[in-house]
Structure 1
Amino acid sequence: MTTAPASSATTIVPEYGDRVIAVETAGSEPIPDAERHGSPLQLLWTWASPNIEFATVYIGVISVLFFGLDFWQATAAILLGTVLGALTQGVLSLDGPRFGVPQMVIGRFSFGFLGNILPSGVNGLVAGVGWFAVNSVSAAFALNTLTGLRPLPSLLLVVAAEILIGFIGHNFVHVFEKYAFPALAVVFLLAGVWTFKDAHLGGGGSGGGVGGFLLAVSTAWGYAAGWNPYAADYSRYLPRTANRFRTVLFPALGLFLSVAVVAVIGAASATIVAPKDATPTAAFTGHLPGWLGDLVLLAIILGAISANALNIYSGAISITALGLKLPAWLGRSTLVVVSGVAGTAAAWASLLDAGSAYEAFLLIIAYWVAPWLGVILVERWLQSRTATGEELAWRLGDRSYTNWPGLAALLIGVAVSVPLFSNQEKYVGWVPEHYPSFGDITPLVGFVVSAGLYAALRRLTPGAAPVPAAPETAR
């Protein structure tokens, strides 16, 4: 008689693994090695597809029509803001395979377990409600223009598809983005060629000056960096041995190329006169031949669904990252539905004034992401100099772990930024009110203040962020 090898008796059969048509059960807990799969290449289309959509087009549109830049000034601002946001997207994606947890869970290093509730909660609202509403509105307008269906039924059809993809989970999201990518790229490139043929690249601009340029940079950066709080959500299933260079390169490249190309097409389209009563999507497609205009409207719908698949998924994941002891039935998939309902209500409320609402929303994202990112990046730098991988992994799940300098630096960075707020309908800060030529330097100031303050506080108060000793069972 022979006995089976011990390894066969202990083989782990993944419950989720690389299955596509299966509802993901994982929330904010670490992904075990047996569940790890995929390659960094999938991050290319996962971060490209969501940005080949109308919300990205509108970055270029508002740079010309709202901020007063000409086409070439808008293009320079878009490229500068986008490349900065894309670089940090690649860097943060590295922590997915390293720790196997979502991006907002990794924030516990910087803010402590309880302190991290604030940025996680904000990101849950911004992603699952704010961004979900913005993209759903553009898709609803596109469906309305294409079919004549009224805006509200159009909105409900779109959000149903978005919620379904997010409900199924991680693997299905990646596959959906993979197959959406070529269709979106081909249609928008065709629209771009036609748009540049009719555009007046030497025209546009109403004297935006330095202020308008900085507003456009902040808007482009806010859009690109707005994905940063999701970065590790889509790399956390990668094996620990995933190539580091490719894990940085592919998300950064996918994000930069998609945002830059599509937003520049939007800037070109803004130099073409559109009917005054046209919806935003109808204005963008009005100069196109009928067959291409219809394809673009379909692509706008598909692109919005691609973007919101990530928004609603990461919004729900951010809520699980709060570390609250929720009932078993209120897991990630249920939270997707809850976020979808809230986001649908917000989208419905903004249907009548989508343009100005989107402009304000983009800037608000930049206002909170910049200070958050400043703290996060400094903490990554400090980790590379101090703590071991074992200590860091233990710190993620320690509910008693505190790091008050991180939360203090975040809040002070936001507070210092308030007098710099610009281009908001209900509030304009003291600086842009008295010196409008400054434009919007809120993100830059918020980032510098929070990063510098956190580095100083951590250096002056090393006891504020102790590394707890791992128990024997964890060693």
Structure 2
Amino acid sequence: MTVAEPTTDGTYRDRIVAVEPGGNEHIAEADRHGKPHQLFWTWTSPNLEFATIFVGMLSVLAFGMTFWQAVAGIVVGTGLGAIAHYFLSARGPLHGVPQMVLGRLPFGFKGNAVPAVLMSITAGVGWFATNSVSGAFALSTLFGFGPLIGLVIIVLLQTALAFFGHNLVQAFERFSFPVLAVIFLAASVMIFVHADIGNASVAAEGVGGLGGFLLTVGTSFGYAAGWTPYAADFTRYLPSSASPARTGFYAAAGLFTACVLLEVVGAAAVTTGEASLADPTGSFTAELASPLAKATLLAIAVGAIAANAINVYSGAMAFVTIGIRLPPHVARALVTVFFGVAGFIVAYLALPDAAHSYEAFLLIIAYWVGPWLGVVFADQYLRRGQAVAGFLYDRSYTNWNGLLSFAIGLIGSVVLFANQELFVGVIAKAVPQLGDITFFIGFVLAGGAYLLLCRSKIAAERTVTS
């Protein structure tokens, strides 16, 4: 059985200061607007923040890479994440639905609740808390009040943006882009002026070797690919006639440019000799002249808001996709407030030890995103050219082998290859120089399992719908 798509009513269009109605409905053509090039700042602005810089700092301080080794790992990991973002973003204008609604194809309506919940927690709570803390400390340092006051300010602003919804979030990313770009570019120039990029001694205490390189690839991939479960959320409002290639390109280019630039700057900052994981924000701005340091702290706060407006918006969107029945006109907006409160609580608890678990968090994102991408891309390959609209809102549609494939990829890769402080996989323990390649293995295992287990089902559906 196939079910007609619920659609928006054409009243939202390009209104900015208006609460986006509904939840996860298909976007009617009357509400479509915008051009693909706007996606460049949509995905640049939220990555012009300190969390991005910290990935680069980790590559040298924690993983033992020299500057140029870090650059190579950052480019590889971010490039892989950007490629995934390209293909998922490109689908938005054609289907006009959020990314997690498209996830009902490979997982079924009920099975899709598993990745949707994972995304809700990762985005609406995990990333929300991580970025809120960095923004709070930036405001605290800049204005001299306590971190808690800074946290309250940050949370209220970013939750308000997400509450109003898609158009206001997009507008904020657009107008914050030039401010963030200019400040971070100036800060980057000054960091490189003081950097000693040929200094290998700062990398002596890290993991080093192949393991350190793969950890760098893994964390930079986890950071970039962490946005992929949101991809279609911000392309679904484009007209259905929008070019998929241009849509994917601008989304991927914005993500890649911002992540690589600031992660490389983070790696360079470590070579100044001032960087510390105990006070990453303070040590990063220590080499900057006072006016630029203050401007950078302000940019860190604005960047945190830019990132979390997207995080809490899409986290709420994913939660609505689970299928819990809420008042349809305000479903997403109500859930946004819930995640704003939950994220605030987690961020408040994290204030005393903000940087402690960031490395583990990035890798854990990659643990589930890797097999999720494997299943999604395998399904996209098998369904190429197939009409899929009738399956997206059908509560009876199942694809349990898709969830099984995801579980095979996730569990198999973690048990064998995870390399965390609390758990080391069987192969990772035997061959520690591998570092952590869990996300690669998870992608391959899940994608391969899906191709084997679901090919006949999708072939049968293609026959029925053709």
Question: Partner residue of 1:195?
Answer: 191
Q: Secondary structure at the match of 1:356?
A: coil
Counterpart CA distance in 2 for 1:401 and 1:467 is 14
Give the secondary structure class of the aligned counterpart of 1:384.
Answer: coil
Give the equivalent residue in structure 2 for 1:205: 203
Comparing 431-440 and 228-237, the one that deviates more: 431-440
Residue 6 of structure 1 is matched in structure 2 by none
State the distance in 1 between where 2:87 and 2:326 align.
Answer: 32
The CA deviation at 1:121 is 1.0
Residue 132 to residue 421, structure 1, CA distance change in 2 (3 Å): farther
Q: Return closer, same or farther for 1:81/1:13 CA change in 2, 3 Å cut-off.
A: closer
**In the alignment, is residue 428 of structure 1 matched against residue 424 of structure 2?**
yes
- For residue 392 of structure 2, the aligned residue among 387, 396, 405 is 396
Matches within 5 A, 1:233-248: 233-248=233-248
The whole-number CA distance in structure 2 between the counterparts of 1:145 and 1:196 is 23
Name the aligned partner's letter for residue 337 of structure 2: V
On the 8 A contact 1:64/1:270 being kept in 2, the answer is yes
The residue that corresponds to 1:220 in the other structure is 220
Distance 1:451 1:53 in 2: 32
**CA apart distance, 1:278:** 6.2
Give me the whole-angstrom Cα distance separating, in 1, the residues matched to 2:22 and 2:451.
34
Residues 147-202 of structure 1 deviation map (CA, whole Å, 9 limit, x = unaligned) = 12111111111111010100010001111000111111111111111001111101
Shift of 1:349: 1.6
Q: Is the 8 A contact 2:34 2:237 kept in 1?
A: yes
1:279 corresponds to which letter in structure 2?
D
Mapping for residues 72-91 of structure 1, pairs under 5 Å:
72-91=68-87
Give the 5 Å matches for 1:31-430: 31-203=27-199, 204-206=202-204, 208-274=208-274, 279-328=279-328, 331-384=331-384, 387=386, 389=387, 392-430=388-426
CA–CA distance in structure 1, aligned partners of residues 441 and 124 of structure 2: 27
Normalised to the residue count of structure 1, the TM-score between the two structures is 0.92
Secondary structure at the residue paired with 1:355? coil
State the secondary structure of the residue aligned to 1:41.
helix
Q: Which residue of 2 aligns with 1:5?
A: none
Instruction: Please give the alpha-carbon distance, in whole angstroms, between the structure 2 residues aligned to 1:32 and 1:468.
Output: 28
Q: Aligned partners of 1:305 and 1:436: how far apart in 2?
A: 38
SS of corresponding position for 1:64: helix
What stretches of structure 2 of length at least 5 have no aligned partner? Answer: 1-7
Secondary structure of the residue that 1:263 maps to in structure 2? helix
Q: Does the 8 Å contact 1:404/1:464 carry over to 2?
A: no
Q: Is the 8 A contact 1:39 1:242 kept in 2?
A: yes
Q: Which moved more, 1:461-470 or 1:235-244?
A: 461-470
User: Contact conserved, 1:71 with 1:268, CA < 8 A, in 2?
Assistant: yes
Q: Is the 8 A contact 2:22 2:328 kept in 1?
A: no
| CA 1:345–1:329: 2 relative to 1, 3 Å | farther
Tell me what 2:3 maps to.
none
Q: Distance in 2 between matches of 1:300 and 1:423?
A: 30
Structure 1 spans left out of the alignment, 5+ residues: 1-11
| Cα distance change of structure 1 residues 96 and 463 upon mapping to structure 2, 3 Å threshold | closer
Deviations 1:260-299 (A, max 9, x none): 0010000000112227696221111011110110010000
State the match for 1:4 in structure 2.
none
Q: 1:218 to 1:13 in 2, by over 3 A?
A: closer
Paired positions, count: 455
1:128–1:315: 8 Å Cα contact kept in structure 2?
yes
What is the aligned partner in structure 2 of residue 8 from structure 1? none
Give, in whole Å, the separation in 2 of the partners of 1:37 and 1:277.
44
Name the aligned partner's letter for residue 358 of structure 1.
Answer: Y
TM-score normalized by structure 2? 0.94
Q: Quick one: which amino acid aligns to residue 213 of structure 1?
A: F
Identity %: 50
Conserved 8 A contact 2:23-2:330: no
1:455 equivalent to 2:457? Answer no
Q: Which whole-Å CA distance do the structure 2 matches of 1:374 and 1:34 have between them? A: 34
Could you tell which deviates more after superposition, 344-353 or 208-217?
Answer: 344-353
Residue pair 1:67, 1:212 contacting (<8 A) in 2 also: yes
Maintained 8 Å contact 1:103/1:229: yes
Residue 335 of structure 1 aligns to a residue whose secondary structure is: helix
- Partner AA of 1:218 in structure 2: G
Identify which range, 243-252 or 363-372, moves more after superposition.
243-252
Q: Offset at 1:424?
A: 2.6
Tell me how far apart the structure 2 counterparts of residues 291 and 430 of structure 1 sit (CA, whole Å): 51
Q: Larger deviation: 24-33 or 431-440?
A: 431-440
Whole-angstrom CA distance in 2 between matches of 1:233 and 1:246: 16
Contact 1:402/1:465 (<8 A) preserved: no
CA distance in 2: counterparts of 1:433 and 1:13, whole angstroms: 56
| Alignment-mate amino acid for residue 188 of structure 1 | F
Deviates more, 1:418-427 or 1:174-183: 418-427
Q: Name the aligned partner's letter for residue 251 of structure 1.
A: A
Q: Please, which moves more after superposition, 421-430 or 216-225?
A: 421-430
State the AA in 1 paired with 2:80: L
SS in 2 for 1:21: coil
CA distance in 1, matches of 2:432, 2:426: 10
| Deviation for aligned residue 1:352 | 2.2
CA distance in 1, matches of 2:280, 2:185: 19
Say which is worse superposed, 329-338 or 289-298, in terms of deviation. 329-338
Once superposed, what is the RMSD of the aligned Cα atoms? 1.9
1:395, 1:467 within 8 Å by CA — same for their partners in 2? no
Question: What SS does the corresponding residue of 2:405 show, helix, strand or coil?
Answer: helix
Deviation at 1:398, TM superposition (A): 1.1
CA change 1:452–1:13 in 2 (3 A) is closer
Structure 1 residues 205 and 278: alpha-carbon distance in aligned structure 2, compared to 1, 3 A threshold: closer
